[in-house]
Structures are given as C-alpha cells and as structure tokens.
Amino acid sequence: MKAVEDNAVMLREHMASTYMNLRLGIALIGAALPLLLWIGGFLGGEKSLLGSMSAYYYSHMRDVFVGFLVSIGVMLYLYKGFSTKENWALNLAGALAVGIAMVATAVPGGPRTLESRIHKTFAVMFFLCIAYVAIFRAPDTLSLIHDQAKAARLRKTYRLLGAGMVISPLVAVILSFLHPGSFTFFVEAVAVWIFSTYWLVKSREIRESDAEALALAGKIEASPALERSGAPGRLVRV
C-alpha cells in the first residue's frame, strides 16, 4: 500500500481529514453527552433523570460530565476557523466549556450559590458564542458553493440553528428557577443536540465545497466586495 507521504495529493487529503475529524469529534462528543448521562445514571442507580445535565456533577457520572466538557473545550480551542472573528468566538467558547465543567452548579435540592450562578452564566455565554459562529461566521464559505439556491438554504439553516442555541439554554435557565425538574434536562439536551447538528451540517458543507482543501492549497481568500454586497459567503477562489 502506498504511503500518504509519497504523493502530494494524498498527503493533502490526509491532513485535511485531520481537520474534518476534529469537527466531527466535537459533534459526536456533544451528541453523546446527554445520552451517556441519562443511561449511565440509570445503570448506576438513578431511577429518574436529575434536574439538569449539570446536576450529574454530583453523581457517579461526574467524570463523564467533566471529561466530555473539557474535551469539547480543548477541541474548540484547537480548531481554527475561516476567519479571525470565528477563532476568537471558538476560543472563548472553549474556555467557557472548561469553566462549565470546573465551576459546579448548586447541589440538587440545595440553595443557589454564587458559584451556581457563574456556572449558568458560563453555559449561556457558551451557546451564545456558538450561535454567533453559526449565524454570522458559518455563511463565510457559502460563496464557494455553485448552487446559489443551496447556499441560501444553508444560510437559513445556520440562522435557525443559531437561534435554537440562543433560545434553548435561556429556556433551560428560566425553567431551573421557575420549575426545577427533569424537563430542564431535556431542554438542555436539545440545546446540546442543536450544537452538534450545527457541526455536522457545517462539516458536510465544507466537505462538499472542498473549502478546507482550497484553504490548505492557498486558493481562497476573503472578498471585501462580497461582504459589502450582503450575498451568502465572503470567501472567493484565487
């Protein structure tokens, strides 16, 4: 079997796959977290769902909760997007994910503390950062898609996913104050699955447009004219 380093095209595809696998890893770890907390908690003796995903910090699933969040945080920091603004937003989101893991929520049934309020603030800010990326930065590469109708549909999809990542965590926080219970867990899970869906949809778009391969080859750059026009995307082939 021919080694990847023996062919320039194979080597470029090999390096591009590393970038894509990082994106997929973020999506899959996020999607798995609510299910693992639910199933793992049940198998460990939790007969019903806890009031929130964060409440599993005080269960035998603590290592899963903390480990998955820290992993997502590190991967978001290591991932480099298609713009400086996207990088800043993802770096901040990565730091916030680690903060969510390290600053615990209130003990189930116990009083709310300053620490628990900071925890909730970190969680909302995390989703706001990713929502910003989905709404304002994800469309950057849509100009590389030849089918303009498809580009327009994807732009709407990113906006909807971004809106979902704003609304869901806010609803979860409100519920945690007004009506604590397992329903909050489901709302939080929806927010996390929307997060994962964004990464999957965006990964597919990047793969189909060869955006990462073009970037590796130095064949795309930002177009100020496109950005001013309000058209989907701001990157062009060079």
Tens digit of each residue's pLDDT (9 = 90 or more) over 161-175:
999 999 999 999 888
Two structure tokens written together for 111: 């009083």
Instruction: Tell me the C-alpha distance between 124 and 111, whole Å.
Output: 20
Asked if the structure places residue 235 within a domain, the reply is no
pLDDT, position 6 = 61
Strand partners, 237: 220
Task: Give the integer Cα–Cα distance in Å for 160 and 169.
Answer: 15
On the question of pLDDT at 120 being above 60, the answer is yes
pTM: 0.92
Using alpha carbons only, give the angle 25, 31, 32 rounded to the nearest 5 degrees: 90
Residue-wise pLDDT tens digits, 58-105: 999 999 999 999 999 999 999 999 999 999 999 999 999 999 999 999
Alpha-carbon distance of 141 to 201, in angstroms, equals 13
Under 8 Å CB-to-CB from 166, ≥6 apart: which residues?
A: 127, 128, 131
Is the residue at 236 inside a domain?
no
Question: What per-residue confidence (pLDDT) applies to 66?
Answer: 97
Label residue 23 by pLDDT band (50, 70, 90): very high
Looking at the 3D structure of the chain, how many domains does it have?
A: 1
Which structure tokens are listed for 193? 């699955």
* Residue 235 DSSP code: E
Please report the pLDDT score of residue 169 as a whole number. Answer: 93
Q: Indicate the Cα dihedral angle 183, 101, 81, 88, nearest 10°.
A: 110
- The answer as to whether 208 is a domain residue is yes
Question: Quick one: which of 150, 123, 155, 153 has its CA closest to 139?
Answer: 155
By C-alpha distance, which of 128, 160, 161, 139 is closest to 205? 139
Residue 1's pLDDT is 57
Residue 108 pLDDT: 86
Nearest residue to 203 via CA among 133, 130, 138: 138
Residue 61, domain member (yes or no): yes
Q: Looking at the domain assignment, is residue 78 inside a domain?
A: yes
Residue 118 lies in a domain: yes
Lowest mean pLDDT among 13-17, 25-29, 45-49, 132-136: 13-17
Q: Quick one: tokens of 66? A: 């903390």
Task: Look at residue 155 and tell me if it is in a domain.
Answer: yes
Q: Which residues form the domain of 85?
A: 4-227
3-state secondary structure of 237: strand
Q: Which amino acid is at 236?
A: V
Q: Are 34 and 53 in contact (CB under 8 A)?
A: yes
